[in-house]
Amino acid sequence: MGVAIRADLAAVPDYNIPGTAPDAIVLNSNEGPLPPPPAVIEAITRAAVEGHRYPQWFSDTLVGRLADDLAVPEEGIAVGCGSVSLCRDLIQAFCGPGDEVLCAWRSFDAYPVFARVAGLRARTVPLDAGHRHDLDAMLAAVTRDTRVVFVCNPNNPTGTAVRGRALGDFLDRLPDRVLVVLDEAYREFVDDPDVPDGIALARHRPNVAVLRTFSKAYGLAGVRIGYCVAAPAVVSAVHKVAVPFAVSRLAQAAALAALDRPEEVRSRSAAIVRERQRLQSLLTRDGHSVTPSQANFVWLPLGEEAGDFADFCARRGVLVRAFPGDGVRVTVGLPEENDAFLSAAARYRGRRSSATLVDRLR
């Protein structure tokens, strides 16, 4: 008989890992379509020379730089191996036996998975009819056992965003003992001025933690680095459960070099926003239902057609992310990649229209 595995892990759903295929256009992982700037690559190369040395334990140099840029104390910043690792760390730091984690659904797949891996209850609240967080329903779902609530803003995979007044009201009504994690992985792509800056909220609310990443707008998805801004007591707890030396020298050097080029990041993000708007406009023109997005992707609420649509696109060399029963998320790529997707989507729409007409004629 082999080593016994935790029995409850059998009930934990597998993470929805995006597919790959040779020579395919990859629009299923929310990566940036451009490689890091040359100066960032040079910084990574220089850091590799000292690859035999451990990195800074708490990424002190990067923390200092972020503190200056964000106008928060250094004690209020934790750096991790991508913001997703900090999701896990926050759950481990603030939840114990009998506690529960609350999130919207559908939202980022990792939230309920991390909770259940930690032996906790993961409770989900359906999005509203506009595919947005239903904050009133989430507030009503909070129990005495709720310890952490995730609000993904903009939400992954729907791209919808919670606005300032609604979020402020939610935070005012929530018990102070509950930690609210504002996951702002897509913050740089927001063009709606009513979407709040979570860091401004975290400066004055000790039960708010904000997650951001270098994976998306900064083009460092493969380098793995993100950060958390929160009250010093929250950051101290995160440090206690973090994996030692989880953030490599290369990742720290890349992040510092990327921060030196804010104009380039803004320019790249603005280009993605323009392409996102173009995608939404053309998809809508062609008869597709598209949820307005504030992220670097668009959401098609296709319901039961999601898998069929994704398979149809894949056969035409374009990989998109299907969430069976809900919809399809399509990352905004380069213009020519987006054009290839638009062509596949138009052909799918035409095929469906033809099938509907045949059914009506029968």
Q: Are residues 26 and 76 in the same domain?
A: no
Strand 226-229 relative to strand 77-80, pairing? antiparallel
- How far is it, in rounded angstroms, from Cα 66 to Cα 7? 42
On the CB side of 275, CA atoms within 13 Å amount to 24
DSSP secondary-structure letter at 12? Answer: S
- For residue 353, the model assigns a pLDDT of 59
Q: Check pLDDT > 90 for residue 17.
A: no
Tell me: the pLDDT tens digits for 114-142?
Answer: 999 999 999 999 999 999 999 999 999 99
Last-in-domain residue among 221, 239, 260: 260
Residue that terminates a domain, selected from 243, 260, 277: 260
Asked whether the predicted pLDDT for residue 359 surpasses 90, the reply is no
pLDDT tens-digit map of 207-260: 999 999 999 999 999 999 999 999 999 999 999 999 999 999 999 999 999 999
Does residue 361 carry a pLDDT above 50? no
160 & 231 share domain: yes
Q: Are residues 317 and 215 in the same domain?
A: no
DSSP 243: P
What's the CATH number where 312 sits?
3.90.1150.10
Which pLDDT value is given to residue 354? 54
Do 192 and 272 sit in the same domain of this protein? no
Q: Residue 116 sits in which domain range?
A: 38-260
The enclosing domain of 193 has a CATH number of: 3.40.640.10
- Same domain for 131 and 114: yes
Domain match, 25 and 90 both: no
Unique residue bearing structure tokens 């597998």: 14
pLDDT in tens, 156-177: 999 999 999 999 999 999 999 9
350 found inside a domain: yes
Task: Please report the DSSP string for 153-201 in residue order.
Answer: SS-TTT-----HHHHHHHHHHS-TTSEEEEE-TTGGG---TTS--HHHH
CA distance 147 to 115: 11
Q: How many domains is the chain partitioned into structurally? A: 2
Residues 101 and 248 in one domain: yes
The answer to whether residues 157 and 282 belong to one domain is no
257-267 burial code (b ≥16 CB/10 A, e <16):
bbbebeebbee
**CB contact at 8 A, 72 and 199:** yes
Percent of the chain with pLDDT over 70: 97
